[in-house]
Amino acid sequence: MPDEHSSPETASRPLSLMGVLRSLPGLARPALGTAGIAWATGAALLFLVCCLASFLYLWLALHQNETVVGRRKSAEILALAHAGGELVYAVQAYTDGGRHSVHALPALQVAWKSFDDQLNRRCVLGGGVVCADAWRLHEVLSPVMAERLPLFGHDEMRQVLSAHAELNRAGVVLAADLEAVIDRVIEQYQAALAALALSTLGFIASGCVLLLLVGRAALERHALYNQAREAQALLSETIEALPAGLTVYDAEERLMLFNAAARQASSVLARSDAIGLTYAELAAHSAATVADTPEAQQEQVRAWLQRFRSKEAHQTQQASNGRWYEWSEKKTASGRTIGLRIDVTHLKTLQLQSEQSRREYQRLVESLADVVFEVDVGTGVLTFASAASADLFGVPAAEMVGSVLLDHVHVEDREPLRHAVRRELHVGDSKVHQIRFRILQANAGSEDAVRYVEARYRRFVRDDGKAVVSGVVRDIDGEVRLARRLEQERARLRSIIDSSAALVVLTDRNLDMLMVNHEFAAFSGLAPDQAIGRSLRSIFAQPVDPFILTGWLERPWAEEALTAARGTLTATDAEGRERVVEVTAKPVLNIEGHVRQIVFVGVDDTVRRETERALFDAERLKSVGAIAATVIHEVNQPLQVITLAAESALEDLEMATLARLLVEPAPLAAKFERVLKQVDRMARITGELRAFSRSTAAEKPAPFDARAALASAVDLTVAAARNARIVLTLDQATDLPPVLGHAGRLEQVMINLINNARDALSDSDPEELRTDMAIVVSAHAVSTPRGRAVRIIVDDNGPGIAAHILSRLFEMFVTTKSRAKGTGLGLAVCQRIVEEMGGSITAANKPEGGARFTVMLPEAVLGSTEPFTRVI
């Protein structure tokens, strides 16, 4: 990589020694700096000094080689002297009695051979005193050693020892000289080693300095190189990561570089030869894709070139990829051109959406039936009015703007409106206020010129600091007039309700009274304002069946699916009289279908009930007359038995008297027991008849056992059925719950149903002699959604009920009997009695033949004195 200060020409020029030397100062100064040059110069001088010290050490080393040679020769002579001493020792060992040893002679021979070898090797050319003494010792020993078994005499030994002593003295002298030479050599070597150590340290120091300088320069250069590479990579990554497109053109408007965002913004940059093309060439390629004709392409290119060269104009246009970009160029100091392609799709989308929303909002405002307005607080002048002002005020919106709002207000409402607005605007800027007033409608007749409107408005401060009031004006003229008519109709309806003889009460879901009429106030003794808020239960203990009320309140209803409830209630009026009221309850639904209110309409039914009770009593007496003959027959039978028993007892007494005998008590007591049984039977029959015929008009409803009433009704009718050859059977369960009402009235219902079944069977075809005619009365307890109930069924196996009569069977004066036998009131009375007990009665034909009447009576609630309400 060339130096940052060198030019491309010097970086590419071939290197030479002189060129390197000449360029070295220029390269070293920026690389090492002034301090680095000083350290490098010192290291070079130290290097030269160390070189001189090394050369001196080499010269000393060459001079010391002669001493080494002399020392080596002295060492060889001393080794020769040592070998002579070893030989003498071996001779002495051999001579002093070691001849007979197997090891003495070989050791002597070895010592002689070693001595002889060293002497011949080291003293051939002389060698000084030591060599002379060694040759003398050799001459003494060589004749003896020549023998196979040498023998040493005293003369030979004396000569040997004398020669050895001379050899030792010469060796000692030589060793002393050698030691002196060694001492001098050691001193010289120590000085040379010191110089060598210093020069070595100098080499090391200069080398370390140079290495540190070169390493520092290399590291700094490497760091700069890495920083440059990192900066280049960071710049490249930054340019590529920019969300804006970046293009660079040189002074000749040729493309130098671009990033990926620029390629996305301009598809022409995807060309492989884009780098190096001029902006005009790129514009021509781009224009070919957006314009159809050559003239249009040239015009587009001229516009783009004008914008590019102006370096000031900004242009927003849509690219081929569908995104919006803002194009701009800026010229640098070096003459290059930097182009920016900023993606403004989001902003453009928001702008388009804002324009679309503004248009839609404008259309919405213009389509509103209410008038949208804005008024300057200071002047009261309208600054904005929507198109609906033409319909409401009769003035176009353009004419409304600039006029004073109060000029369009009715004269009588101007001052109140002005004061109300001023007062309400002091409450707070963010609060929405509401006011009603009248306006004057232009271009309208005198009757329609004044209209009622409602304004909703609030005060706020615009961005320019001006305080304004904005809001909407709504036409409520129809509502006001409708409200007036509604109030009139309400007053009229109120007068109708108050004038009605019925009791009318409106309650909420909790049966708390919301409205009552005068009739109810007179009935309850409560003024209308006193009754409002109180519970209707304070007047009627149970105004509606709890089961029905729960069904109304627990879920939403459709108007057509909701049914009213009707019931008969008893209450004490304001004067303390007990009154019977026929009440109808009808729920009122809200828009979601939930019960919001309940309307109760009650009719005082006391007089009609008293008349109806008289009718019941008359019907009862008719039934008594119908069973009178049967009762007489039933009474005659016990009378005949009593007569016979009494006559028999009298005869027994007379016979006993005539015979003057005692009367047997047992037979006589049995006859009197028969009399008493028949008397009890007559008392029971007459008692049932008397109880049935007794009026129950004054009795209050009370829980009673249905079993006893059913048994009594069967006892009263069984004789007549038996006389008509009809089998009457009673089948009732033992666990029947109590029912609410009057036992005598239930007997009346059952006697009427049994007699009707008997008549139907008796009036069947006389030619058919039937022996299986039967009436079955059954009673069982059943479970219903509202709780337990008693189900009473009266079945017969007669001809059944005609189809055209079945649907109207319980209507008054409808009968299948002849006028002599029936009046058509019996079943109607039965239905009334059963309904008063909170039950129901139905009639049907059985599939196998015959009629069936079913009576359902609900179980009496503990503590209740009124039957449940029935649904209609």
Question: pLDDT tens-digit profile of 76-104?
Answer: 667 777 777 777 777 777 777 655 566 77
Spatial CB neighbours of 789, under 8 Å, sequence gap ≥ 6: 737, 781, 782, 783, 839, 856, 857, 858, 859
Residue 470 CB coordination number (10 Å) = 16
Phi-psi region of 732 (alpha: psi -120 to 50; beta: other; left: phi over 0): beta
Angle at 645 between CA 640 and CA 649, to 5 degrees: 150
Q: Which two tokens mark 827?
A: 């079943």
Angle at 833 between CA 627 and CA 684, to 5 degrees: 35
CA–CA gap between residue 64 and residue 81 (Å, rounded): 26
Spatial CB neighbours of 589, under 8 Å, sequence gap ≥ 6: 556, 557, 559, 562, 595, 596
pLDDT at residue 852 is higher than 90 = yes
Angle at 296 between CA 294 and CA 299, to 5 degrees: 110
Taking residues 606-610, report their average pLDDT: 69
Angle at 282 between CA 278 and CA 285, to 5 degrees: 145
At residue 720, the pLDDT reads 79
Taking residues 598-620, report their average pLDDT: 72
Is residue 841 a contact partner of residue 774, using CB atoms and an 8 Å limit?
no
**What's the pLDDT band for 858 if we cut at 50, 70, 90?**
very high
CA–CA gap between residue 653 and residue 662 (Å, rounded): 9
- Name the pTM for this structure: 0.36
Question: Which residue, chain included where needed, has tokens 């037979």?
Answer: 667
pLDDT at residue 871 is higher than 50 = no
At residue 420, the pLDDT reads 80
* Strand bridging mode 255-258 / 315-318: unpaired
Is residue 543 a contact partner of residue 552, using CB atoms and an 8 Å limit?
no
The string of DSSP codes covering 165-186 is HHHHHHHHHHHHHHHHHHHHHH
Kind plus residue range of the DSSP H or E element containing 741:
strand 739-741
CA–CA gap between residue 466 and residue 449 (Å, rounded): 34
**What's the pLDDT band for 443 if we cut at 50, 70, 90?**
low
Q: H helices within 242-331, ranges in order? A: 260-265, 279-290, 294-310
Provide the terminal-to-terminal Cα distance of the chain, rounded to the nearest Å: 108
Q: Which residue has the higher pLDDT, 856 or 660?
A: 856
CA–CA gap between residue 336 and residue 344 (Å, rounded): 25
CA–CA gap between residue 711 and residue 714 (Å, rounded): 5
At residue 414, the pLDDT reads 87
3-state secondary structure of 457: strand
pLDDT tens-digit readout, 748-792? 889 889 988 888 888 765 545 566 889 999 999 999 887 899 999
pLDDT at residue 19 is higher than 60 = no
E strands present in 590-662: 595-604
For residue 384, the cross-strand partners are 374
pLDDT tens-digit readout, 41-90? 777 777 777 777 766 665 665 555 555 555 666 666 677 777 777 777 77
Kind plus residue range of the DSSP H or E element containing 569:
strand 565-572
At residue 508, the pLDDT reads 92
3-state secondary structure of 238: helix
CA–CA gap between residue 345 and residue 351 (Å, rounded): 9
pLDDT at residue 622 is higher than 80 = no
Q: Which residue has the higher pLDDT, 704 or 217?
A: 704
**What's the pLDDT band for 665 if we cut at 50, 70, 90?**
confident
CA–CA gap between residue 437 and residue 198 (Å, rounded): 118
Q: Which of 828, 618, 578, 582 is nearest to 698 (CA)?
A: 578
**Residue 582, Cα to own-chain centre: how many angstroms?**
55
Instruction: Name the DSSP letter for residue 501.
Output: S
From edge to edge, which strands make up the β-sheet containing 870-871?
513-516, 503-508, 595-604, 578-589, 565-572, 870-871
- Maximum mean pLDDT: which of 237-251, 341-355, 494-508, 592-606: 592-606
User: What are the CA-CA distances from residue 197 to residues 200, 204, 208, 322 (Å)?
Assistant: 5, 10, 16, 82
Taking residues 620-649, report their average pLDDT: 62
